[in-house]
Structure formats: structure tokens, C-alpha cells
């Protein structure tokens, strides 16, 4: 639907509502002919069209202006003052044209007999409608900003997590090639075996690239394979202890975390036959611990900061549990949490294929609002028509039109309450709070 068509429908609805209200307040609906009804209804629509379109144009102008963040009250006051002036000017010209051209009254006589009473109803109706428009406008803008903010947060987190995972490819390959370079000089035969094993290991790296978590058993198997590569280079200068499997087969860790920790241990410590490096992997209190004896190298290359920091940041994005580091005089240990539930906090948003639950909630809210607007339009068209039928074809002693007007009106009121009220019982806020409450209860069961 185009904006012009939408505005025409809005002005038609406003004109119909104002027609009903105006005649109810003045004790109207007393028409002798259909022509009288059509003329009176037409005048209301004319006033609604002129005043509605002029105020819509002013509202669009206000929207195009640049406003600062704290200018909400200022904008509302200017909007109300501007709408009042536009309404008064519009009413004056409409009343003048009607008196001069329809009732053949001179302009001087019109000015002489004009009083404030002829403007009170129009100004009151206009201010009421403008106030409602402002409330709906600012509420919708608040909801849009809220949804936009949540999308930015989710998108940033997903992008950050993907960036952290993408760091691992060049990082792992670069360090593996360094090891291969050393082996070529020290032991060419092992270098050939290392090259074959490296292709298998790197295939695993590529397979796990797009996963947020993998089982501890998978990571232990990969760590065992990576240890065999290190043994090709250092032989008896490095000693490993690693469990066969995890105590809980469903526990998970971030991919390649053990490989990064093993790599760091070798990188920062002396590994010689006289001072072998002992690396032990074990479980303790829901943590998977990688511990090594501390024998720092005298000269260490400047660290890239990718390894341990990468693991810590990925866990921060996935869980409230954190990576802990324990350095003592003779040992260095890093404990990574073993997570026991499927990830539900992080979601990678893929355009046109996957959407997070914020989009679903926003779409549902738009559908609810659209359904309410359709109901309101139907109400504003059908009820005046029923009143006309009552007036034209039934005895005036039985005002039966009140029953559908009040019954349907109460239904609309409850519908509007559900759509627009945030903090009340059964409103949007109530629904959201209940959902969050149940989610918190579920969250307490997660990552145990």
C-alpha cells in the first residue's frame, strides 16, 4: 500500500470517528433524508481530509528535521503548538469558505459573528489525535531502536566469534610450518612423516572451523594426534600424560583449545633431553586442565597473543564460566571449562537462512499491530454504517447499535492493551518478563 493510499484511509477513519463523536455529543443523528446524512457526513470527511493532511504534512516535516537525543519533550511541545496553529488556520478557512460559498454569507458578516465556540471541538479532536499519533510514533521508534540495538549486539558478537575462529587457521599453519622447517634441518626422515600427519591434522582444523563447541573426547583425540607431531620433533625431550576419554561423554570445549595450550607450553619452555618438558592433561571439578613444569626459555620470541587470549575470548562469548590460569614457581596450569549443555547464547546469523529469536519476536509484534489496525479500520467503517441502518430503517426507541459498538469496542480495547501496554498484566512486558523468567530458570541448569 502506498503512503498516499494509507493517508487517505487514515483520514477516512478519523472523519468517521469524529462524525460519530460529534453527533453523539450534540444529540445528532436526527436526519430527515439520506441527503442530509450524506451532506453532514461529507462535511466531517472534508474537515478530516483538510486538517488531517495538513497535520500529516507538518508531522512529516518534523520527522525530517534533525533532532538531538534529548529533544523529545521539545519536539512534542513544538508538534502540539504547530498542530494547534495549523488546525485553527484550517478551521478558519473551512468555516469561511462554507459560509461565503455555501450559505451565501458575506465575509464581513462571517468575521463579525465568528466566536471561539466554533473552534473548540475541532481543536480538542485534533489535539487528541495528535497526542495519540505522538505516543504511537515514539513508542514505535523506541521499539525499532531496541530491535536495532539488539541486532547490533548479536551481529557484533557473532562477527567477533567468527573472527576469533578464523585466527586459528593461519596461526596453526604458521606454527606448524615452523616446526616442519626445524625438522627438515634436524631430522629429514621425521619431516616426511610430519608432513603426512600434518595434512591429517589440518583437515581436522578445517572441519572444526565452523563449530562453536566440540566434545572433550574429540579434542583429546586431536590433542593426542598433535602430540605425536611434537614427539617427532622432540622425541624423548617431551613427555605427555593424557586421559583416554572424558568422564562425561557429553561435555564440550571450544575447538583447538588443547592444541593452542600445548603449542604455548612448547613455545615458552625449554624442551631438551636433559630438561624434558612434562605436559599433563586431566580433569578436575568440571575443568579440563593442561599443566606443565615451568622451565622458561631465556630468550623467547615476542608472543602474537593469539593462543591463550583467543581461548579466553571465545569462552567469554559462549558462557559465564571463565578460563583460569595458575602459575607457580615450578608449574604452569591453564584450566578450561567443560560445558555440559548445547550452546544457546551464541547464534550465527546467516542472511536469508537463519534468524535469531529477536527477529521472530519483532515480526510477531508487527503482525499483532497489523491485526489490531485492521480491526480498528473495520470498527470505524462498520459501526457508523450500523448507526446509519438503525437511524434509517429501525424504530428509534431501540438503540441496538450500542451493543455491537460497546462489545466490539471492548474487544478492541483489550487488543490495544495487549499490543501497546508494556508493564501491565498480560501486556508485552508481562509476556517478556515471563519468558525471561523461564529462560533464567533454564539458564541455571545450563553449563553445570
Of 82, 64, 67, whose CA–CA distance to 130 is shortest? 82
Domain 156-337 has CATH 3.30.565: yes
Of 194, 259, 269, whose CA–CA distance to 233 is shortest? 194
Please tell me the distance from the alpha carbon of residue 265 to that of residue 172, in angstroms, as a whole number. Answer: 14
Is pLDDT of 201 > 80?
Answer: no
Report yes or no: 272 and 235 within 8 Å, Cβ to Cβ: no
Per-residue model confidence as pLDDT tens digits over 109-129: 889 888 888 788 788 877 777
- Is residue 443 very low, low, confident or very high in pLDDT (cuts 50, 70, 90)? low
Residues of the chain with pLDDT > 90: what percent? Answer: 8
For residue 254 the three cell numbers come to: 571450544
Task: Identify the three-state secondary structure at position 315.
Answer: helix
Q: Of the ranges 8-22, 185-199, 259-273, 420-434, which one carries the lowest mean pLDDT score? A: 420-434
- Mean pLDDT across the chain, nearest whole number? 76
Is pLDDT of 200 > 80?
Answer: no
Q: Supply the pLDDT for residue 283.
A: 93
Please tell me the distance from the alpha carbon of residue 209 to that of residue 162, in angstroms, as a whole number. Answer: 9
Question: pTM higher than 0.75, yes or no?
Answer: no
Of 177, 282, 281, 187, whose CA–CA distance to 234 is shortest? 187
Query: Which of the pair, 446 or 102, is modelled with greater confidence?
Result: 102
Q: Supply the pLDDT for residue 285.
A: 87
**Helix runs in 65-116, H state only:** 72-97, 107-113
Q: Supply the pLDDT for residue 342.
A: 47
Is pLDDT of 77 > 80?
Answer: yes
For range 217-233, the mean pLDDT: 84
For range 191-211, the mean pLDDT: 74
Q: Of the ranges 13-27, 33-47, 71-85, 145-159, which one carries the lowest mean pLDDT score? A: 145-159
Report yes or no: 90 and 51 within 8 Å, Cβ to Cβ: yes
Q: Of the ranges 94-98, 304-308, 398-402, which one carries the lowest mean pLDDT score? A: 304-308
Is pLDDT of 38 > 90?
Answer: no
Q: Supply the pLDDT for residue 336.
A: 93
- Is residue 58 very low, low, confident or very high in pLDDT (cuts 50, 70, 90)? confident
- Is residue 259 very low, low, confident or very high in pLDDT (cuts 50, 70, 90)? confident
Per-residue model confidence as pLDDT tens digits over 5-36: 777 787 888 888 888 877 776 666 777 788 88
Q: What is the CB neighbour count within 10 angstroms for residue 309? A: 15
Q: Supply the pLDDT for residue 63.
A: 81
Is pLDDT of 290 > 90?
Answer: yes
Of 111, 118, 58, whose CA–CA distance to 91 is shortest? 118
Please tell me the distance from the alpha carbon of residue 373 to that of residue 412, in angstroms, as a whole number. Answer: 10
134-143, 153-162, 406-415: which is most confident: 406-415
Is pLDDT of 287 > 70?
Answer: yes
Amino acid at each position: 500500500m502506498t503512503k498516499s493510499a494509507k493517508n487517505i484511509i487514515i483520514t477516512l477513519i478519523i472523519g468517521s470517528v469524529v462524525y460519530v463523536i460529534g453527533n453523539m455529543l450534540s444529540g445528532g443523528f436526527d436526519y430527515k433524508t439520506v441527503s442530509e446524512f450524506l451532506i453532514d457526513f461529507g462535511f466531517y470527511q472534508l474537515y478530516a481530509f483538510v486538517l488531517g493532511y495538513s497535520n500529516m504534512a507538518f508531522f512529516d516535516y518534523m520527522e525530517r528535521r534533525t533532532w538531538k537525543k534529548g529533544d523529545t519533550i521539545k519536539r512534542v511541545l513544538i508538534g502540539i503548538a504547530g498542530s494547534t496553529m495549523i488546525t485553527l488556520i484550517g478551521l478558519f478557512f473551512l468555516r469561511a469558505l462554507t459560509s461565503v460559498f455555501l450559505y451565501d454569507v458575506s465575509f464581513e458578516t462571517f468575521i463579525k459573528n465568528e466566536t471561539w465556540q466554533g473552534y473548540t471541538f475541532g481543536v480538542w479532536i485534533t489535539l487528541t489525535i495528535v497526542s495519540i499519533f505522538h505516543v504511537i510514533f515514539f513508542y514505535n521508534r523506541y521499539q525499532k531502536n531496541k530491535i536495532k540495538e539488539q541486532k547490533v549486539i548479536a551481529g557484533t558478537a557473532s562477527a567477533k566469534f567468527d573472527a576469533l575462529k578464523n585466527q586459528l587457521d593461519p596461526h596453526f599453519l604458521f606454527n606448524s610450518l615452523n616446526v616442519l622447517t626445524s625438522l627438515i634441518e634436524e631430522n629429514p626422515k621425521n619431516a616426511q612423516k610430519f608432513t603426512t600427519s600434518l595434512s591429517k591434522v589440518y583437515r581436522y582444523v578445517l572441519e572444526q572451523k565452523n563449530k562453536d563447541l566440540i566434545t572433550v573426547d574429540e579434542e583429546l583425540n586431536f590433542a593426542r594426534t598433535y602430540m605425536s607431531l611434537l614427539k617427532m620433533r622432540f622425541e624423548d625431550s617431551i613427555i605427555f600424560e593424557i586421559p583416554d576419554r572424558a568422564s562425561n561423554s557429553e561435555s564440550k570445549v571450544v575447538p583447538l583449545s588443547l592444541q593452542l595450550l600445548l603449542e604455548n607450553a612448547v613455545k615458552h619452555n625449554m624442551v631438551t633431553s636433559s630438561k624434558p618438558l612434562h605436559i599433563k592433561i586431566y580433569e578436575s571439578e568440571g575443568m579440563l586442565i593442561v599443566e606443565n613444569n615451568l622451565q622458561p626459555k631465556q630468550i623467547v620470541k615476542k608472543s602474537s597473543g593469539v593462543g591463550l587470549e583467543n581461548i579466553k575470548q571465545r569462552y567469554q562469548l559462549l558462557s559465564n564460566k571463565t578460563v583460569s590460569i595458575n602459575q607457580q614457581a615450578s608449574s604452569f596450569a591453564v584450566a578450561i571449562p567443560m560445558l555440559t549443555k548445547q550452546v544457546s547464547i551464541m547464534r550465527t546469523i546467516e542472511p536469508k537462512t537463519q534468524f535469531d529469536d529477536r527477529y521472530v519476536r519483532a515480526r510477531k509484534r508487527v503482525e499483532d499491530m497489523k491485526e489490531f489496525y485492521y480491526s480498528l479500520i473495520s470498527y470505524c467503517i462498520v459501526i457508523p454504517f450500523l448507526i446509519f441502518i438503525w437511524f434509517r430503517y429501525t424504530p428509534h426507541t431501540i438503540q441496538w447499535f450500542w451493543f455491537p459498538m460497546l462489545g466490539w469496542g471492548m474487544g478492541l480495547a483489550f487488543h490495544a492493551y495487549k499490543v501497546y501496554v508494556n508493564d501491565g498484566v498480560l501486556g508485552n512486558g508481562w509476556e517478556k518478563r515471563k519468558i525471561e523468567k523461564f529462560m533464567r530458570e533454564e539458564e541455571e541448569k545450563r553449563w553445570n
